[in-house]
Amino acid sequence: MFTGIIQALGTVKPLDGDSWQITCVTQPSNVIMQDLATGDSVAVDGICLTVEKILKDGFIATASPETLRRTTLGQEETQQRYVNLEASLKVGGKVGGHFVMGHVDGIGQLVSAQATQTSWELIFTAPGAIARYIVSKGSIAINGISLTVADYQPELSQFKVAVIPVTYKETNLQHISPGSWVNLEGDILGKYVEKFLCFGNPDLEEATQTIPNDITAGFLVEHGYL
């Protein structure tokens, strides 16, 4: 489990097979490396990976085919830019963001990024499988960063977040541009609420499994939401 508070920036490099080398580039790197041990979990751009071998300034981990398919790790673009790193939450540690599991639901795309006097306003797309967990003022993890949804437009399958300068500066949000893909993880609390509401109701269970990847205004009208 993680909290969405990024501790360092790193790079990823594919090795033989499904192995990946993650190198911490933030100086000093001891926030990630000081207590790191084989078998530990580290969130790499929001993806929970298990440390298999420790290096001087990083570690080696394996990414399954499912992980490569579902996340940006399998994209060449990710291999050419910085990734966010966060060590797993320790018992008694501070939860500065929200509960982030490191189980990415899917990928979205940066639509625009605009600087304001006090923050950066970023707009992202979200496929239907993730969009149903997005609520205004709720939490979402973008590349492992705990952020608050400032606005949600279901008809466009888009949402906006406001990022304070320190978060923008210390994460890889500063290195992405419109068109870049990002990892998205919906709030785990919303997923459990959905599960409890649907439990024992075949109609609701079937509905949650058949939501299309792109929710349009026409889809919402057809199903009585507008």
My answer on whether 114 and 215 are in the same domain is yes
| Contact present, 111 and 121 (Cβ < 8 Å) | no
My answer on whether 132 and 49 are in the same domain is no
My answer on whether 50 and 129 are in the same domain is no
My answer on whether 58 and 110 are in the same domain is no
Give the pLDDT confidence score for residue 150 in this predicted structure: 95
Give the pLDDT confidence score for residue 167 in this predicted structure: 95
For 101-131, letters b (16+ CB in 10 Å) and e give: bbbbbbbbbbeebeeeeebbbbbbbbbbbbb
Name the residue range of residue 218's domain: 105-226
In this structure, the number of other CB atoms found within 10 A of the CB of residue 168 comes to 17
CA 48 from centre of chain = 10
My answer on whether 75 and 112 are in the same domain is no
> What is the CATH classification number for the domain harbouring 29?
2.40.30.20
My answer on whether 14 and 80 are in the same domain is yes
Q: Please, which residues bridge with residue 172 across strands?
A: none
- Number of separate domains in the chain: 2
pTM of the complete model: 0.85
| Contact present, 60 and 40 (Cβ < 8 Å) | no
pLDDT per residue, tens digit, the chain (226 aa), is 999 999 999 999 999 888 999 999 987 667 899 889 999 999 999 999 999 999 999 999 999 999 999 999 988 777 778 999 999 988 888 888 899 999 999 999 999 999 999 999 999 999 888 888 999 999 999 999 999 999 999 898 999 999 999 999 999 999 999 999 999 999 988 888 888 777 666 655 555 555 445 555 565 556 555 4
My answer on whether 70 and 137 are in the same domain is no
Give the pLDDT confidence score for residue 219 in this predicted structure: 57
| Sheet with 58-62, side-by-side order of all strands | 47-50, 41-44, 83-87, 8-14, 19-24, 58-62, 53-54
| Contact present, 74 and 68 (Cβ < 8 Å) | yes
Residue 18, φ and ψ in degrees, nearest 5: -100, 15
